[in-house]
């Protein structure tokens, strides 16, 4: 089925992470730019190594960016299975694994080079990590397998968004939840550098994808992220998170 997988358990510092890519910024000058915490909107983060597990679950993310805010919204429990579609980095995984004990993480990649880069750059402290290269827009997992599925800033590049969302529904357990974060069309659709590579969507269009795929309890959250441009200037950018639940 075009499946290629790495599973690894490495005893290393979970914060020793080199991201292999960038989260797709709407502004080209923001790509690969540092993304510091916005002190006006985020409380000072405690040293996560000093917190108890219960405190870690509710800890603020280390950065005020889209991917971290998306993860903050996941109410993870012990030993749950989590799927990320088309990760564009690995920096956020340390925060993910701090939210609950014994989480299993799977990330799917559209290219072999991206999967290999993630494998060679991410180091984890004995956590269960599975990196998979998929083909034909398929999620090569059995039905009813994951507790949560999430993806950020990827829908713009999906040749068949309905197929991706439908596949996400299939691999989720009954009661499982999917979170999809994106920048809506009225913010990014008219920018000249996004005309060829990006396909933007309205909120109602994404909600319709969820409904057609079978999701219930569909919710929409309008959120903000803080990123830094190459001159060190903070930019606040809006994004949307649509979530849905698989019927029990």
- So what's the pLDDT on residue 18? 30
Cβ 70 vs Cβ 149: under 8 Å: no
CA distance linking residue 23 with residue 67, whole number of Å: 8
- For the entire predicted model, the pTM comes to 0.74
> How much helix, strand and coil, in percent to the nearest 5, is found in the chain?
25, 25, 45
- So what's the pLDDT on residue 188? 60
Distant-in-sequence, close-in-space partners of 78: CB < 8 Å, separation ≥ 6: 100, 101, 102
Long-range contacts of residues 57-62, Cβ cutoff 8 Å, at least 24 apart? 57/98, 57/99, 57/100, 59/98, 61/95, 62/37, 62/95
All structural domains of the chain, each given as residue ranges with its CATH number in brackets, are 4-245 (3.40.50.150)
**What is the full per-residue pLDDT of the chain (248 aa) written as tens digits?**
444 444 443 333 222 223 323 333 334 333 333 333 333 333 334 454 544 555 455 567 888 889 999 999 899 999 999 999 999 888 899 899 999 999 999 999 988 888 888 888 777 667 899 999 887 778 989 999 999 999 999 999 898 999 999 999 999 999 999 999 998 887 665 555 555 677 889 999 999 999 999 999 999 999 998 877 667 788 788 899 999 999 98
């Amino acid at each position: 089925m075009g499946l290629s997988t790495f599973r690894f358990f490495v005893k290393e510092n979970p914060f020793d992470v080199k991201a292999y890519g960038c989260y797709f910024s709407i502004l080209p000058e923001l790509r690969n730019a540092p993304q510091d915490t916005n002190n006006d909107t985020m409380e000072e983060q405690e040293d996560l190594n000093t917190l108890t597990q219960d405190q870690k679950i509710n800890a603020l993310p280390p950065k005020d960016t889209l991917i971290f805010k998306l993860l903050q919204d996941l109410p993870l429990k012990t030993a749950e299975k989590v799927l990320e579609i088309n990760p564009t980095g690995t920096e956020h995984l340390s925060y993910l694994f701090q939210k609950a004990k014994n989480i299993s993480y799977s990330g799917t990649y559209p290219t072999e080079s991206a999967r290999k880069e993630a494998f060679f750059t991410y180091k984890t402290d004995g956590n269960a990590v599975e990196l998979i290269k998929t083909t034909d827009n398929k999620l090569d997992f059995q039905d009813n397998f994951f507790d949560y599925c999430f993806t950020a800033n990827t829908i713009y590049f999906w040749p068949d968004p309905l197929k991706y969302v439908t596949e996400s529904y299939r691999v989720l357990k009954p009661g499982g939840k999917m979170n999809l974060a994106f920048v809506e069309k009225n913010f990014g659709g008219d920018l000249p550098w996004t005309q060829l590579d990006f396909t933007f969507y309205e909120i109602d269009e994404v909600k319709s994808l969820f409904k057609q795929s079978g999701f219930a309890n569909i919710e929409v959250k309008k959120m903000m992220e803080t990123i830094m441009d190459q001159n060190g200037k903070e930019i606040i950018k809006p994004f949307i998170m649509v979530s849905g639940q698989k019927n029990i």
